[in-house]
Amino acid sequence: MEKPVNQRAWILVIPVLLLVAFSSILPMMTVVNYSFQDTFGENIFFWVGLEWYRELLHSERLWDALGRQMLFSAIILSIEIPLGILVALNMPKKGVWASVCLVLMSLPLLIPYNVVGTIWQIFGRVDIGLLGRLMSDLGISYNYSQNAFDAWVTVVVMDVWHWTSLVALLSYAGLRSIPNAYYQATKIDQASRWSVFRYIELPKMQGVLMIAILLRFMDSFMIYTEPFVLTGGGPGNVTTFLSIDLVKMALGQFDLGPAAAFSLMYYLVILLISYVFYTVMVSIDKSEAKQ
Amino acid sequence: MASITLENLAHSYLPNATSEDDFALKEIDHVWEDGQAYALLGASGCGKSTLLNIISGLVTPTRGRVLFDGEDVTSLSTAERNIAQVFQFPVVYDTMTVRQNLAFPLRNRGMEASYIAERVQRIAQMIGLEDALQKKARGLTPDLKQKISLGRGLVREDVNAILFDEPLTVIDPHLKWELRTQLKSLHQEFGYTMIYVTHDQTEALTFADKVVVMHDGRVVQIGTPKELFDTPAHTFVGYFIGSPGMNFIPVSVQGKEAHTNGAVIKLAHDYGTPAGELMLGIRPEFITLAKKGGMQVKINRVQDVGRHKFINVTLFGAELNIVADEGFSMESDMTNVEFDLEKISIFRDDWRIDPVAAHAGGKGTR
């Protein structure tokens, strides 16, 4: 049967096209434009071709930042995902305490990024911070503004404090959607607590965990505000992650061309990793369903 | 296999229940005989799942005891009772294969691998899952998943009883019949004690030797499908069993006559002069429409469903349903109904009463 052809449907698509064009595509194209040119101000631009890309790919600075970034995301995920699941498993299932828990857990999520940074910045200060002062009084050397390891620990703890709730809440939602009959069946089958987790809870949480991992990965890969507020990427360069480096390059040094090339490559890396991750998860899902 | 005895059992989901209304399950005394197939029939929320969960040990009763073969198991856990339970929605371990699913309860009990393999094979053969053993449980159809669920129960040799909690709810209609027949033949072949909860009367009546009808937290009647049909002990049984259900006419009774709205319906037996709220009950199958004789009615509508005709009439202000056979030919001047007098039941305050005379045909009901 032949379908009726009606080109008027395009009219309905136009508003969205316009919106996306002005909010995403055009700004992005400006960045693309910058990345192929050089300028010395006064709005005069020179075509440099792939020069900036070539330069960046050989720059140690970018690779170091990327390495730090990867390490940070890996640490964050390996702490927050198991911890979030653990918290979700131990949350009350119903009643007043369940609501209290939910409210308390969502509080960190509602705090603006730079406030989180400021809170920890002050909290960890050796002179006036509760944590920093306490540590130094206890004789533990802790100084995030001078010691690289301490800076890393602080940034990681800060992120865990800020975002574990998200993983926990998502996992909790996944757990709550498991019908009671599953737990009853496992009782009848005499399954151990570990078996219940391994064969019932974990498979049922797979979907939400995938979203949690994806969200936490993207967000931690783009982290900027917290380390910036804490130490501005220091001490030295040890907490200079990709975003911080990018901003330094674009606004600090006003190297618009290299910064544009940087942001495009940054964008592609995130897109690529997320895409690979998503495809792998979905194909696992599909192949399991097929068997 | 074991016989299951419920002693003065009652359950409330409220922490300190006092009045009868607080109880989801009111006082029950009953013995489920070894090797019988029972159906637990009732409307949603009547307490049948509660009763099932008490038997399986998932719920601890507020009062009373549960005995398996005379042994008190009230405080034992589900696993210790060796109960198999099939739930409304198929419960399978998604990430495992069918074989691993069936082996799971045995593995958890630390059985030997060779024994497990042999036992799993046998059970798979019994329930027709042999071909699917290597497959992942996740991708299977609901009916196969329910079979896995059943198989996980059967795989234990020491299983005392198999409980079904509306197991066919999510199964396609054309497979329901097949699965139910298979359950029935499993029962006949291996003599498992089976308790089958359902709100579908067809399911209950075709599956069970004995049907236990529950209403409002109470067992109102236990009997064979025929007993439930012929001599319902409670108006709920009359209304719930049969399609359409029993017709009820509010009456007052004096001896062999029932009075309603000034008219008289003759009864086959002498009921004396019972007090209380009385109802005359007659099944739609036992009313015939005729040209004259009996009582005059107003015909409201006729539905022809092929094998039957459903006729709805008004008698003394009460609506009655009549079921007429396929062969029955309707004529426009059929304005009277006749009751099959032997099939009339009289209910007092919702419970069936027997005629007073000793020679009466109505049997004891409980």
**Are the Cβ atoms of A188 and B104 closer than 8 angstroms?**
no
Q: What pLDDT is recorded for position B361?
A: 46
**Are the Cβ atoms of A184 and B58 closer than 8 angstroms?**
yes
Mean per-residue pLDDT of chain A: 87
d(CA B9, CA B29): 6
**Are the Cβ atoms of A189 and B56 closer than 8 angstroms?**
no
CA distances from B18 to B10, B21, B26, B59 (A): 12, 8, 12, 19
Instruction: Evaluate whether residue A227 is within a structural domain.
Output: yes
Instruction: Evaluate whether residue A18 is within a structural domain.
Output: no
Closest C-alpha to B52, from B196, B192, B222? B196
Domain count, chain A: 1
pTM of the model: 0.75
Q: Which residue in this structure is represented by tokens 């329901």?
A: B176
CA distances from A196 to A178, A193, B34, B147 (A): 12, 5, 32, 21
- The nearest CA of chain B is from the CA of A101 a distance in Å of 24
Closest C-alpha to B304, from B322, B318, B283, B282? B322
CA distances from A131 to A120, A122, A140, A229 (A): 9, 9, 11, 17
Residues of A in contact with B87 (CB under 8 A): 181, 184-185
Residues of A in contact with B53 (CB under 8 A): 184
User: How is A169-234 classified by DSSP, letter by letter?
Assistant: HHHHHHHHTS-HHHHHHHHHTT--HHHIIIIIIHHHHHHHHHHHHHHHHHHHHT--HHHHHHHTT-
**Residue B314 amino acid letter:** T
d(CA B196, CA B88): 11
- Cis ω on the peptide bond leading into residue B244 (within 30° of 0)? yes
- Max distance between CA atoms of chain A, in angstroms, equals 83
CB atoms within 10 A of CB A232: 13
- pLDDT tens across A241-267, in order? 888 888 888 888 878 888 888 889 989
What phi and psi, each to the nearest 5 degrees, are found at residue B274? -70, 145
Residues of B in contact with A190 (CB under 8 A): 79, 105, 108-109
Instruction: Evaluate whether residue A12 is within a structural domain.
Output: no
- pLDDT tens across A191-235, in order? 889 989 998 999 888 888 988 998 999 889 888 888 888 888 878
How many whole angstroms from its chain centre is CA A134? 31
d(CA A23, CA A20): 5
Q: What pLDDT is recorded for position A289?
A: 60
Q: Is A200 an interface residue toward B (CB < 8 Å)?
A: yes
pLDDT(A146) > 80 = yes
Residues of B in contact with A203 (CB under 8 A): 93-95
Q: What pLDDT is recorded for position A86?
A: 94
Q: Is B78 an interface residue toward A (CB < 8 Å)?
A: yes
Residues of A in contact with B94 (CB under 8 A): 199, 203-204
Sites in chain B below the pLDDT cut of 50: 359-366
Q: What pLDDT is recorded for position B365?
A: 42
CB atoms within 10 A of CB A177: 11
* pLDDT band per the 50, 70, 90 thresholds, residue A156: very high
Which residue of A182, A187, A188 to mutate against B (max B Cβ within 10 Å)?
A188
**Are the Cβ atoms of B135 and A191 closer than 8 angstroms?**
no
CA distances from B191 to A34, A287, B160, B186 (A): 82, 40, 11, 8
CB atoms within 10 A of CB B275: 10
Q: Where are the domains of chain B?
A: 4-230, 247-353
Which residue of B50, B59, B86, B108 to mutate against A (max A Cβ within 10 Å)?
B108
Q: What is the CATH number of domain B4-230?
A: 3.40.50.300
The 3-state DSSP composition of chain B as helix, strand, coil percent (nearest 5) reads 30, 35, 40
Write out the residue range of the structural domain in which residue A232 sits. Answer: 67-290
Q: Is B82 an interface residue toward A (CB < 8 Å)?
A: no
- pLDDT tens across B172-212, in order? 888 888 888 888 888 888 888 888 888 888 888 888 888 99
Which CATH number covers residue A95?
Answer: 1.10.3720.10
Interchain CB contacts (distance < 8 Å): A and B: 67
Q: What pLDDT is recorded for position B363?
A: 45
